[in-house]
Amino acid sequence: EIVMTQSPATLSVSPGGGATLSCRASQIINNNVAWYQQKPGQAPRLLIYGASTRATGIPARFSGRGSGTDFTLTIRSLQSEDFAVYYCQQYNNWPPGGSFGGGTKVEIK
Amino acid sequence: EVQLVQSGAEVKKPGESLKISCKGSGYSFSNYWIGWVRQMPGKGLEWMGIIYPGDSDTRYRPSFQGQVTISADKSISTAYLQWSSLKASDTAMYYCARQSSGSYYDPQDYWGQGTLVTVSS
């Protein structure tokens, strides 16, 4: 099973600042990576798929890049609603449904 | 509008059985894989398994094989997650989620609101 490792575990950012979250896969997964946002008490929400394509309704301040094994999610000009936990996910290989990273919590500095 | 609506929170004792549900609407339920994700308290997301309601083809993550049963009734657009004998370690939030297209190697574009299962004596 492919292991997804996210870093850092926690990122402290001032409102209006930027954040770059990293995700590394234990094997090459092409660009079959998604990013999700989860706020307390809510279900995850799809932000990015195909490593760099924003899902419907996702603001342009969210961007993803990467291929192979290394991927990043960048959030520009953080708004109050962006403070949340972010998960990367590979859906290139087993298991069906994919495997998630451990998450990065973006908190207010 | 696509929606996945899950059944309500449950409080059970160890050894009891449980079946929770996820009802889809606003799309062709039979034609999209739908799966279940566990989130233990304060922890991350884990895929448990996935089902294709059109023919009930089901795949489990090895660590969940034999521990739970996933099923679906396409006539009422509902997927299920079932335990025959709950353990305290099954205490978690459970989400259903739809694959974004016809493959189980896809991201999940719609999620249910979650069902909190608490197992305690």
Tens digits of per-residue pLDDT, B12-54? 999 999 999 999 999 999 999 999 999 999 999 999 999 999 9
Q: Yes or no: say if A79 and B23 are a contact pair by the CB < 8 Å rule.
A: no
Judge whether A91 is closer than 8 Å to chain B, CB to CB.
yes
| Cβ distance of A102 and B44 shorter than 8 Å | yes
The verdict on whether omega for the bond into residue A95 sits within 30 degrees of 0, i.e. cis, is yes
How much is the pLDDT for A96? 76
Residue of A nearest to B5 (CA): A43
β-partners of residue B5 are B23
| Cβ distance of A49 and B35 shorter than 8 Å | no
How much is the pLDDT for A94? 79
**Has residue B105 got a pLDDT over 90?**
no
How far apart CA A72 and CA B102 sit, in angstroms, is 27
**Has residue A97 got a pLDDT over 90?**
no
How far apart CA B33 and CA B4 sit, in angstroms, is 13
Average pLDDT over residues A71-82: 96
If one counts every other C-beta atom within 10 angstroms of the C-beta of residue A72, the result is 18
Q: How confident is the model at residue A3 (pLDDT cuts 50, 70, 90)?
A: very high
Judge whether A98 is closer than 8 Å to chain B, CB to CB.
yes
SS3 content of chain A, % helix, strand, coil (to 5): 5, 50, 50
Q: Which of A89, A91, A105 to probe the B interface (max B CBs under 10 A)?
A: A91
Instruction: Enter the tokens of residue A55.
Output: 């899902």
Instruction: Enter the tokens of residue B102.
Output: 């016809």
